[in-house]
Amino acid sequence: MISCVDLFCGLGGLTHGLARGGVRVVAGVDTDEQCRFPYEANNDATFVQRDVHELPGKELQKLWPKKSSYRLLAGCAPCQPFSTYSRKGRASRTDEKWGLVSDFGRLIDETSPDFITMENVPQLADHPVFEEFLKSARGYHIWRGIVECRSYGVPQTRKRLVLLGSRLGPIELVSPSPTDEQSRPTVRNAIGHLRALSAGEADPADSLHRACRLSKLNLRRIKRSVPGGTWRDWSPELIAKCHRKTTGETYPSVYGRMEWDAPSPTITTQCFGYGNGRFGHPEQDRAITLREAAILQTFPESYEFLEPGEVPKFSTMGRLIGNAVPVRLGEVVAESLRKHLRRIRRKLKTRRKRP
């Protein structure tokens, strides 16, 4: 049995995936109290509201069960400092969130778990803080790579840096299964069955299936938008001032519609807004809903994000859903760890049988 503590757990995307893949997650650590209900309502794990920067290794050790066979420490630190969406001034800016990657490394040093895993944006691999992190992981066999999540059944274009580490021997991420490769999930087969909505409307049976309002101008814009197209498809009177600039920053990917038979773009914290990316619904005149965003992040539709009767805030739920690790990616990590353990056990049995 592998027992895991999930640092920076958010509302539980990685935890849920690991659990579905056969890893026992005992606790999730995060500063955001708004994550407590969805985390504990959907996972057999305890939510610990704690700043990882102030968390000592001795306290973390107590979260694992004493009789745990193998211990896993997951540390998917907030990725905003490294994201392409926040590149401006990144080289010269000191961001305290960068230090959270270092704190993950510190806790590896202080607790020596059997396994470690990390998920983050690819840009982290080019930052000095990642090289420092790898020094903290000395003694581990490390696999790392840039993973296209769609290859593993996530219905969005989402590239992520994934790292696995083991003290027991060489480890690697499992290859995509034939099912994942053949299905190549799309927006249509992910959200095409949901109730049709207008901008500003909510599904009375599902408070998370709720679409943002659109201004009259944006409503005219989305009606002129075609799946996979850009604002260049509009008539001149609809084009925004920022798109008329000659500086080259014309933002072709904003104010766009998704395509039914393609993956969605990367789901971000602002995915509920039509003007924040290619987040327009393929045919309905609105941006995607919070529920649609969660499904594209491979959360099951049964996942409870809100307490009964609670009305979601777009900014809050968008942030939590956009920052989550796709559930399916958590399953892949769990599958990789279990396959690794089976291989280690076979080697041990072979050695014991030798005369």
Average pLDDT, integer, range 282-309: 97
Other C-beta atoms closer than 10 Å to the C-beta of 58 total 9
Q: Find the angle CA(77)-CA(47)-CA(140) to the nearest 5 degrees.
A: 45
Name the residue type at position 306: L
Task: Identify the three-state secondary structure at position 115.
Answer: strand
Instruction: Give the pLDDT score at 241.
Output: 77
Residues ≥6 apart with Cβ < 8 Å to 157: 148, 150, 263, 264, 265, 266
What secondary structure letter does DSSP report for 267? P
Residues ≥6 apart with Cβ < 8 Å to 200: 211, 212, 213, 214, 286
* Burial of 60 (C-beta count, 10 Å sphere; 0-12/13-18/19+): buried
The Cα 299–Cα 305 span in angstroms is 10
Active-site residue 79, yes or no?
yes
Render pLDDT for 242-252 as a digit per residue (tens, 0 to 9).
777 665 455 66
Model's pTM, two decimal places?
0.91
CATH 3.40.50.150 fits 2-184+326-353, yes or no: yes
Q: What is the mean pLDDT of the chain?
A: 90
Strands (E), the chain: 2-7, 24-30, 46-49, 70-75, 115-120, 141-148, 159-166, 202-203, 206-210
**Regarding the domain delimited by 187-323, which CATH topology (the fold level of the hierarchy) does it fall under?**
DNA Methylase; Chain A, domain 2 (3.90.120)
Q: Which residue's entry shows tokens 């679409």? A: 211
Instruction: Give the pLDDT score at 91.
Output: 42
Average pLDDT, integer, range 167-174: 97
Cα distance from N-terminal residue to C-terminal residue, the chain:
29
Domains 2-184+326-353 and 187-323 share a fold: no
pLDDT at 299 over 80: yes
How confident is residue 95, by pLDDT bands cut at 50, 70 and 90?
A: low
Single out the residue of 46, 47, 44 nearest to residue 20, CA to CA.
44
Average pLDDT, integer, range 41-68: 94
Query: Which is it for the CA torsion 297, 302, 308, 309, positive or negative?
Result: positive
Which sequence spans correspond to the domains of the chain?
Answer: 2-184+326-353, 187-323
The Cα 91–Cα 46 span in angstroms is 37
Instruction: Give the pLDDT score at 352.
Output: 64
What secondary structure letter does DSSP report for 175? P
Instruction: Give the pLDDT score at 97.
Output: 57
How confident is residue 89, by pLDDT bands cut at 50, 70 and 90?
A: very low
Single out the residue of 4, 83, 19, 31 nearest to residue 320, CA to CA.
31
The Cα 172–Cα 197 span in angstroms is 43
> Poorest-confidence range of 27-31, 37-41, 87-91, 180-184?
87-91
Instruction: Give the pLDDT score at 251.
Output: 62
Catalytic-role residue among 9, 35, 79, 149: 79
Contact criterion met (CB below 8 Å) for 128 and 111: no
